[in-house]
Structure 1
């Protein structure tokens, strides 16, 4: 009578071991499995004054595993200033200037730049960007549109995407960019400035 329960126990243990082995095979390995190192204090981005890096993301790392991922932000005011300067430089007609100004996203734009190894490494649709507020509520999410990069140097290729951002009150947001191919997540903070009206509004 005790034979059947013992067989059932052995079958259950074997099933659990097989499930565990399958899960282990499905998990990423190496640096991707351990996750990216984080700064003790978020570091200001060298190019975008609104962005700070939470996870370590240096030029040296791109040489190791081709995982360089930079987030930038351009406010609507910054974009208007640039377009106004270009109007004077190129002597645009008023209609050209107004068309350019009308195309400025009210909330500015996020800029995502990646360096990846190999020509097939830069597929921007592998990336999903998520923004949450201080309370942890998701306020914006987008999987990037498909697109490939251009040769950057050695075996590295660069991809770049500009994402129109919705108009929001000034606040600090947490931004995560998940790379489905690398199994890595890159974290940032974004300090949204006060939105200012453009000439088109």
Structure 2
């Protein structure tokens, strides 16, 4: 992927993240109970590490061809703070930002990094991130955070599929292994992951 394409995609996702921060308070109150969703029955024998996001392992089969055809494709990626900071620094070089612009962008970076969520669903009404609730628990089963994305309508992807994508800013958490469930209120399904939060670099 060309650097310009990566930078443009990053800029768009960062803008989405800022909107997510503004809507987080209102969305949290409306969060459905993800524990009541049926867990996707298609499991890997062993969790599969994501090639593009090594900190994420798929427990349920969320991104294979069958999931894409069925309209349940649900991809989770973890973007550490250090990675997002490096992207901001690269953007600064490309656009020769004033120091105030850089400081504003720097202050907007979520301290815990972000989860990047991508879904593909059948029909435009089903492909909206507002249908999701993301719940992370620690090894003891205690909830670490719960996130509901802001309304993010999907765009036509192909066949009868629509794709929606966004960044969910995370609070700063201790380095640990988290169990993450992404529940979809339209499908009444939940998809499971293991996310390893690395030490701050």
Specify if TM > 0.5.
yes
Matches within 5 A, 1:162-173: 162-173=167-178
The runs of 5 or more residues in structure 1 that have no matched partner are 1-31, 197-201
Q: Secondary structure at the match of 1:114?
A: strand
TM-score normalised per structure 2: 0.77
SS in 2 for 1:83: helix
Does structure 1 residue 177 correspond to structure 2 residue 179? no
CA positional deviation for 1:63: 4.1
Contact 1:62 1:116 in 2 (8 A): no
Q: Residue 159 of structure 2 aligns with which residue?
A: 154
Match for residue 144 of structure 1 among 149, 160, 164: 149
Structure-to-structure mapping, 1:113-124, within 5 angstroms = 113-124=118-129
TM-score by length of 1: 0.77
How many residue pairs match? The answer is: 165
Task: Measure the CA separation in 1 of the matches of 2:146 and 2:123.
Answer: 27
Question: CA-atom RMSD, angstroms?
Answer: 1.7
What residue in structure 2 maps to residue 85 of structure 1? 90
Contact conserved, 1:36 with 1:186, CA < 8 A, in 2? no
Aligned residue number for residue 54 of structure 2: 49
Greater relative contact order structure (CA < 8 Å, 6+ sep): 2
Gaps of 5+ in 2: 1-36
Q: Do the aligned partners of 1:36 and 1:184 also contact (CA within 8 Å) in 2?
A: no
Aligned equivalent of 1:95 = 100
